[in-house]
Structure 1
Amino acid sequence: MRLKTLLQVLILFGIGLFGYWIYHSKIFETNPPEVKMMVRIGNEEKEVMPGANFWNPYRDMVLYMKDASGIRSYRIIAKSENGSILIDKQEAIVQRPEHLKVLLPKPNVMLKENEHIFYEIIVNDWSNSHFFSGNTTKLKFDFEVDTEAPLVRMVASSYKISYGGSALLIFKIEDKSTREVIVTNGTDQFKAFPFLQKGYYAVLIAWSIRNKIFNGTITAIDQAFNTKKVAIPIIKDPNVHYRFSKIKISDQFLNTKLDHLIDVIGERSPSSFSEPLEKFKYINELIRNKDENIIFRTTNASDYQGYLKPIHFNVFLPLKKAQVVGSFGDDRTYLYKDKKFSHSMHLGLDIANYKNAPILSTNAGEVLFTGLLGVYGNTVLIDHGMGLSSLYSHMSEFEVKAGDVINAYTEIGKTGQTGWAFGDHLHLGILVQGYPVRVAEWMDAKWIKSNITDVFLKAQNIIEGKK
């Protein structure tokens, strides 16, 4: 009796083990084949999702098939709008490859613009699941023929862009299926925002002070991956000069001014450095770089769906009767005993009035950030729309917090000397999608009128058909 019971247990165990093997075996796996349609764009490939799509038949399309049990067969069917079969390609694969790549066959007929072609892709694997019939993947595509590249037309723009400065561009893209708009200065990319009516875009673009050359272009890509790239028709002024400063660092400064800031930063102890010069480089280069990355990520991430009217920008005058005590774009080389040992670039304008002077945001916006940064000290970042942000640093106190939506001429805090500041002052920065630009332009009412306000007005009149 015991032997019989033991035998039954062994049989049940064997059946369970066999079932487990079947369930986990490639021979009986139940996952359908993975099938992707990719279109070749130069040296790249972009995935085309099933469903309605625009298609340029002059581009190669590739089917990628993948399955753990191997690909058994595939069938590609293409039909015209009236239901006639243009392609019916079938192939059985006896080698059982786990990966298979097939060029999508194209109809051997002349295709008209806007004509629809319907593809069905059927792929079977070598699994013995589903009573040995295997697993099947079916994909359907509705392709509308589109071979025409988008048309890009400039509507209005700033007269010129200066080295380190910014400009406003408003343009129109004529295409039935715009996928992506790329605006670049040759190095950095800028998001263009939908403006007023469908097909129109506005963008503030920067000529970063770190880029010696401005090679601005606008690229429009449609759903069929037809691409049009045009040069930005704007005068480039490279004849803006910035200071190159050589600053000598004394032993007294190295031994008295660094430890406190390192303690405030809190990442390392002053005693962890082997020498004072190492402390200086740590603050001036590593911490400064971390601060600037935080500033860039915060101001570059702001996004809007579009703008139904132009934005009015006031001049940025955060302090009354202020004096300039530090220049934008100052390229600073630090010397110790006449040897270069560190370098930085000043990406804002330092201005001062009296101690703990009130700071105004003369433009409305949303507060993106209030907090302590290493070199910049207590800092406020405000988004004013169209990718334009302002930065206020070294503050002694805040009057706003992140998330606040403020009106123009709101007091946001007081000047101070937090961070790496030697004397009470304000570090003012203006950023276009995260890139610092010439502050002087945005403090000049005439420049704003000519390069921003009048450009918005001209574009609005053109778009809305006004004289």
Structure 2
Amino acid sequence: MRAFAKFLLFLIVMGVIAGGAAWWWAGRQPAPSVEFRQPQKFVGQNSALEMMVQTPQGQLSRLDVSLEQNGKSYPIFALNQPTDATTRQEAADRLFISRPIGKRAIPELQPGPARIVVHAARPVLRGMRQIAVEATRDVQVRLEPPQASVVSTFHYVNLGGAEFIIYRATPADVESGVRVGDRIYPGFPGTAVGIKSDPAIHVAFFALAYDQDVNTPITVFARDPAGNIAAAVVDHMAFSKAFSKSTIPIDSWVARVVPPIVANTPSLQGESTAPADLPQTFVKVNSDLRRQNAQTIAELAKKTAPEMMWKTSFEPLTNAAVEAKFADFRTYTYMGKEIDRQVHLGFDLAVTQQVPIKAAQTGVVVDAAYLGIYGNCVIIDHGLGVQTLYGHLSSIGVKVGDKVEKGQVVGRSGMTGLAAGDHLHFTVLVNGTPVNPVEWWDPKWMQDRVFRKIMEAGGSVT
């Protein structure tokens, strides 16, 4: 009997030790983790909470989110009462939550500091213990909208053309620019063009793309870090333009042009260049690769300088024959049948074979490499979102980062890329949007549309 009692006591002691060890082990298990994605620092009229909660095995026993301000707590989300939240299971152990938390969602919010508080817990040890975590994010509630107003006058823009604007945007930390339909053109401080009298002054180039409607709304906008937005309508006149159409048979040059493009483009590796497959591969080059190249060009627009590097109109290729104009709507045929349609967004200029190609304006080289349909290509940034592209070069004479002067040789003309013969493909870009180069070559246009406005606002172009 005494032996049994000792054995029973031993079992009890071991059970207590094992239970304690299990309790200790359970307490050492990882708690849920909380990743705040939005807001970063500010909450405005229409702000949203975006957060990711990750927990082992995807088990959550508690998830409560609230916003605290001035001693009051406003519930935002509860696991059993998601209210206006959107939840998405991004993985077995990850839950994404989004919910409006701005003034419109929580009318009691006041300007000033606030805190987002998250309590999350998960069960361990078959639910006998909870592993909890508290995560917080301090934010500033900002409710007063920014201000935006147009300063310059006489805004005239052609379909496929560009325009320049001067405007005011406050306070100092706003992001601002011009919105043309669904396209955004960022603004720059007025000091970029020598306007120093008013720190609220900003400037921007914008475009009415060739494929937009002439009635597309144009506004300047200002958006503060809390997401509050102000906008002002740009008083302007837009003019329609008729663009040319052409039919281009590819029979005589497709076999020469397509294989080098495929060989020089990683995304096309494996595409057949056999004679029977050339028309199909050409269409992939002419359409899919053209879109990829446009995306690359748009990304390069982010490398623009916050200054206007030019004081004169742009320089065209001298003594050149115009082989194609801007926004030429092209139909491509093979063996007499239509196989593709695209729009040519630049000027094709030809002189003689491998003629020296000069920079149209002072700037900095942001790309100098093989670029798909453009072949050997140089892109020069001139500041304020304005860039020029030189395509189909036989050779490149500059490298990325080089400062080039107007008239400096950057390469030689050629027939690389999607070119049937030796010529220069020249494009002017405004924040990645191709525009008609003719305007930029015109001293009168440059003086009236750009320099006049700068001088009237107290800036300098000398």
- Please indicate the TM-score interval, normalised by the length of the shorter structure: 0.7 to 0.9
Q: For residue 162 of structure 2, what is the aligned residue in structure 1?
A: 166
**In structure 2, C-alpha distance between the alignment counterparts of 1:260 and 1:95, rounded to whole Å:** 61
Counterpart of 1:290 (choices 278, 289, 292) is 292
Secondary structure at the aligned position of 1:368 is classed as strand
1:111, CA displacement in angstroms?
A: 8.6
**In structure 1, C-alpha distance between the alignment counterparts of 2:284 and 2:98, rounded to whole Å:** 52
Secondary structure at the aligned position of 2:303 is classed as coil
1:356, CA displacement in angstroms?
A: 2.3
1:192, CA displacement in angstroms?
A: 1.7
Are 1:155 and 2:157 an aligned pair?
Answer: no
1:255, CA displacement in angstroms?
A: 6.1
1:362, CA displacement in angstroms?
A: 3.7
**In structure 2, C-alpha distance between the alignment counterparts of 1:103 and 1:284, rounded to whole Å:** 44
Secondary structure at the aligned position of 2:458 is classed as helix
Are 1:31 and 2:31 an aligned pair?
Answer: yes
Aligned residues of 1:62 and 1:101 also touching (Cα < 8 A) = yes
1:377, CA displacement in angstroms?
A: 1.9
Counterpart of 1:379 (choices 377, 380, 390) is 377
Counterpart of 2:180 (choices 173, 182, 185) is 185
TM-score between both structures, scaled by the size of structure 2: 0.74
Q: For residue 202 of structure 2, what is the aligned residue in structure 1?
A: 201
Q: For residue 139 of structure 1, what is the aligned residue in structure 2?
A: 136
Aligned residues of 1:181 and 1:218 also touching (Cα < 8 A) = yes
**In structure 1, C-alpha distance between the alignment counterparts of 2:285 and 2:47, rounded to whole Å:** 53
CA deviations on 1:34-65 (whole Å, 9 max, x unpaired) are 386xxxxxxxxx82346xx4655xx6877979
**In structure 1, C-alpha distance between the alignment counterparts of 2:294 and 2:101, rounded to whole Å:** 48
Secondary structure at the aligned position of 2:393 is classed as coil
Q: Which 5+ residue runs of structure 2 have no aligned equivalent? A: 1-12, 83-93, 192-197
Q: For residue 82 of structure 1, what is the aligned residue in structure 2?
A: none
Bigger shift: residues 389-398 or 430-439: 389-398
Are 1:47 and 2:44 an aligned pair?
Answer: no
* Residue identity in the other structure for 1:169: I
**In structure 2, C-alpha distance between the alignment counterparts of 1:413 and 1:420, rounded to whole Å:** 18
| Cα distance change, pair 161–73 in 1 and its aligned pair in 2 (3 A) | closer
Q: For residue 61 of structure 2, what is the aligned residue in structure 1?
A: 70
CA deviations on 1:282-313 (whole Å, 9 max, x unpaired) are 44333433333333332x22144x44xx5534
Matches within 5 A, 1:123-138: 123=119, 125=121, 135-137=132-134
**In structure 1, C-alpha distance between the alignment counterparts of 2:49 and 2:254, rounded to whole Å:** 63
* Residue identity in the other structure for 1:137: E
**In structure 1, C-alpha distance between the alignment counterparts of 2:319 and 2:50, rounded to whole Å:** 67
TM-score between both structures, scaled by the size of structure 1: 0.73
* Residue identity in the other structure for 2:445: W
1:74, CA displacement in angstroms?
A: 7.8
Aligned residues of 1:348 and 1:428 also touching (Cα < 8 A) = yes
Identity %: 22
**In structure 1, C-alpha distance between the alignment counterparts of 2:390 and 2:32, rounded to whole Å:** 57
CA deviations on 1:241-296 (whole Å, 9 max, x unpaired) are 1101123455x555676556656668347554644432432443334333333333
1:205, CA displacement in angstroms?
A: 0.9
Alignment length, in residue pairs? 416
* Residue identity in the other structure for 1:229: A
| Cα distance change, pair 412–29 in 1 and its aligned pair in 2 (3 A) | same
* Residue identity in the other structure for 1:210: D
Aligned residues of 1:185 and 1:215 also touching (Cα < 8 A) = yes
**In structure 2, C-alpha distance between the alignment counterparts of 1:94 and 1:296, rounded to whole Å:** 42
Aligned residues of 1:62 and 1:102 also touching (Cα < 8 A) = yes
Secondary structure at the aligned position of 2:291 is classed as helix
Matches within 5 A, 1:253-264: 253=253
**In structure 2, C-alpha distance between the alignment counterparts of 1:444 and 1:105, rounded to whole Å:** 49
CA deviations on 1:227-253 (whole Å, 9 max, x unpaired) are 223322221111x11101123455x55
Aligned residues of 2:374 and 2:416 also touching (Cα < 8 A) = yes
Secondary structure at the aligned position of 1:369 is classed as strand
**In structure 2, C-alpha distance between the alignment counterparts of 1:394 and 1:377, rounded to whole Å:** 5
Aligned residues of 1:327 and 1:349 also touching (Cα < 8 A) = yes
